[in-house]
Amino acid sequence: MPAVPPQSGPTAPQGAAPAPEATPERRTAWAEGVDRLRTAATTEPGRLRIIGAVLALLVVAFGTVTAWQMTERSTAADDVLHSSQPLSASAADIYRSLADANTAASSGFLAGGQETKASRDRYELDIKTAAAKLITAANSSDPGSPSAKTITELNKLLPEYKGLIERARANNRQGFPLGGAYLRYANEKMQQEMLPKAQDLYQRENQRLNADYADAKPYPWAAIGLGVLAIGGLVWAQRRNYRRTNRVLNQGMLAASAASGVVLLWLVVGHSVARAGLNESYDHGVRSLNVLHDTQIASLKARGNENLTLVSRGAETKVLADKTTVDAYDYDFGEDMKSLTKGLALAADLSNDEAGAKPVKAATANMKEWKLRHKAASTANEKGEYQEALERVIGGNPKNPPTGDCFDGVDKNLAIALTHEEHEFKQAAGDGLDAMTGLPVGAAILAVLAAAGALLGIGRRLSEYR
């Protein structure tokens, strides 16, 4: 009997249906697309279609990124001109108005019951200005922000300060010594609570201004890079077309290159001009304004401490690091005058034209004369000649020219310098903003035209294969 070959596995029973064939795995749309693209790249028409699509995508991306980046920078530049800098100036005005009100109150107090109408009106105007600026700042601040909290606290402290000043005046008119105590208490509230909060608000608004500058000035490198890439692609495509057909010009591609070149040139030149204007507005506007604001505040604080030196008559003292005991207000006056001297010197260095330098020079001359007159008043006060010292500070005797005239000269000339620098800032920042006007929209429109030109140029070449 023949041997039966061994079986490797179980056999299907007779009559059973054959096993179904395995279903091939379905390919993804991405894989199919890649295959089609690879197949298309093997023919010249397919390669042209790919080139056209890539060029159109590059040009559209260039226009989109340009419009996006320049919109952001234009918005930031607009905020610099119309939002953050005015708010910073308002915060500085709040500080100045509060410091000036404190100075006017002490000047009126020294006049005794014969407080002048000018002194009273100046105090009232400062209080109204501070209240109005606080309302403006509150409307512009974000609810719940640190600035909003500071503004709320200042709004609460302002009527408290006014109440103390009125009590000081009422007692002073009746000749009660308690008036001086109320005035010193009001000054402490101003110096230790209100002015530090106003300074904090001013610094925050300056930080916001600096942040807007930081957003407006950087070069749009992403847009510039895409522009160079898009123009490079268009040039390469035209060179390729020339090498294959000996045709020098392709109208569609040429139009696309021209439109892209215009956008890139507009972008670089426009932003460079805008950047220069913003730098000018900061270097010869914001920096000068900050220095002048600080200098004016130093002048106001010096005048207030000069007045309070006579009001307190040595009742307020402080011990220095070397254990020396000095009159607190007279010492603070000296420190404020150092700040005033330094501020005027810096303001003179930052002045870039005669219109800005002239009032600073005049204020410096007033400050030097102020120091001389103050020294004479201090000498009289140290000798116990209080009436002469008082006359040398607030006036009343033609033989003793008062320091108040010098302070008024400093304050007036600094105000003129501030007005000039404010104008310089607005002009330079406005020029910077104008340089970006229309660039986002223009870039988007030209990019669409460039993409259309690239597609038309490629389409004309494709028509030769039909």
Q: 46 Cβ partners below 8 Å, 6+ apart? A: 39, 40
- Please check the confidence at residue 444 and state whether its pLDDT lies above 60: yes
110-119, 141-150, 237-246, 396-405: least confident range: 110-119
Q: What tens digit of pLDDT does each residue of 313-360 get? A: 766 777 778 778 787 888 889 999 999 999 999 999 998 889 999 999
- Please check the confidence at residue 127 and state whether its pLDDT lies above 60: yes
- Please check the confidence at residue 14 and state whether its pLDDT lies above 60: no
Res. 445 pLDDT band, cuts 50 70 90 = very high
* Tokens (6 digits) for 125: 């105007």
- Please check the confidence at residue 64 and state whether its pLDDT lies above 70: yes
Res. 295 pLDDT band, cuts 50 70 90 = very high
User: How many separate helices (H) and strands (E) can be counted in the chain?
Assistant: 15, 2
Res. 130 pLDDT band, cuts 50 70 90 = very high
- Please check the confidence at residue 1 and state whether its pLDDT lies above 70: no
Average pLDDT of the residues in 49-54: 84
Task: Please state the φ and ψ torsions of residue 297, each to the nearest 5 degrees.
Answer: -65, -40
Average pLDDT of the residues in 449-453: 89
Q: What per-residue confidence (pLDDT) applies to 422?
A: 92
117-143 as b/e, with b when 16 or more CB fall inside 10 Å? eebbebbeebbebbbebbebbeebbee
Q: Which amino acid is at 207?
A: Q
Q: What tens digit of pLDDT does each residue of 211-254 get? A: 999 999 999 999 999 999 999 999 998 888 878 776 667 788 89
Distance CA 397, CA 122 (A): 22
pTM score, whole prediction? 0.79
Q: 108 Cβ partners below 8 Å, 6+ apart? A: 115, 116, 119, 120, 123, 169
Q: What tens digit of pLDDT does each residue of 382-417 get? A: 888 888 888 888 877 788 889 989 999 999 999 999
List Cα–Cα distances, 385 to 94, 176, 296, 317, 329, in angstroms: 37, 21, 30, 20, 18
- Please check the confidence at residue 136 and state whether its pLDDT lies above 70: yes
| Rg of the chain over all Cα atoms, to the nearest angstrom | 38
Task: Please state the φ and ψ torsions of residue 210, each to the nearest 5 degrees.
Answer: -65, -35
